[in-house]
Amino acid sequence: MGDALATYFEAKACQDSNATSCAGGTITTAAITLAKACYDTLIEEGLKAKLAVENNAVTDAVEKIIEANTLLSGMGFESGGLAGAHAIHNGLTAIKECHHLYHGEKVAFGTLTQLVLENADEDLLDEVVGFCMDVGLPTTFADMGIEKVDKDALMEAATLAAAPTDTCGNEPVEITPQKVYDAMIAADAIGRYYKGL
């Protein structure tokens, strides 16, 4: 669900910046519609599906999340594109404390960071952070195992994420290593705020 969380926001960023899709074309209305259906399904069914799966139960919510995570996210990504969330995921792979994390866990924090870069409104942040907390996806450095932030390591991750060879350039805003660094710091602060830390 962490990977699927990024699909709509990355496709939207690619559309807003006129980026080329992963399939090599322009972003179609169909791609954005599938990606939005993916996001809406996560918000509506994610918590129910998680609780069911944790108790070895298969419910309608689980079936809907499987469709969102595989079909909707897969087609939304292929016909949409990648942007900040996956670039930040790639940057986080340089931080040793993050090595144990699943792909989707790093992408979830990457999504939150992307939303900070795009200066998303509070209602949207509220929804995304609330979802992550409900289903157990990381919203803070501590959630990812980073107990004490090493500024140099974080800047290395931000520099990797902002590299021209990665997909942060598909964001509709100016990207620099410093902006990505600051967005990660702010994303962690937002996560801690919601946790009351």
Interacting residues with Zn ion between 60 and 89 (CB under 5 A): none
The window from 3-11, 15-23, 36-44, 67-75 that contacts Zn ion (CB under 5 A) reads 3-11
Instruction: Using the minimum distance from each CB to Zn ion, give the nearer residue, 51 or 77.
Output: 77
Interacting residues with Zn ion between 4 and 43 (CB under 5 A): none
Instruction: Using the minimum distance from each CB to Zn ion, give the nearer residue, 3 or 143.
Output: 3
For residue 77, the minimal CB distance to Zn ion (Å) is 7
CA distance 78 to 57: 31
**Contacts for 119 with CB less than 8 Å, ≥ 6 apart:** 173
Residue 88's nearest CA partner among 195, 9, 192 is: 9
CA distance 105 to 196: 21
CA distance 14 to 150: 31
Phi and psi at 67, nearest 5°, equal -65, -45
The window from 1-9, 65-73, 145-153, 161-169 that contacts Zn ion (CB under 5 A) reads 1-9
Among 1, 3, 14, 191, binds Zn ion (CB under 5 A): 3
For residue 129, the minimal CB distance to Zn ion (Å) is 20
The answer to whether 87 and 165 are in contact (CB under 8 A) is no
Q: Is 3 a catalytic residue?
A: yes
| Given 60, 99, 103, 150, the catalytic residue | 103
Instruction: Using the minimum distance from each CB to Zn ion, give the nearer residue, 3 or 188.
Output: 3
For residue 10, the minimal CB distance to Zn ion (Å) is 9
Phi and psi at 118, nearest 5°, equal -85, 0
- What are the strands, taking DSSP E only, across the chain? none
Q: Closest residue to Zn ion, Cβ-based?
A: 3
What stretch of H or E contains 72?
none
For residue 82, the minimal CB distance to Zn ion (Å) is 8
Instruction: Using the minimum distance from each CB to Zn ion, give the nearer residue, 47 or 87.
Output: 87
Going from the C-alpha of 172 to that of each of 13, 84, 138, the distances in angstroms are 6, 10, 25
Instruction: Using the minimum distance from each CB to Zn ion, give the nearer residue, 7 or 15.
Output: 7
CA distance 48 to 151: 38
Which active-site residues does the annotation give? 3, 86, 89, 103
Q: Which residues bind Zn ion (CB under 5 A)?
A: 3
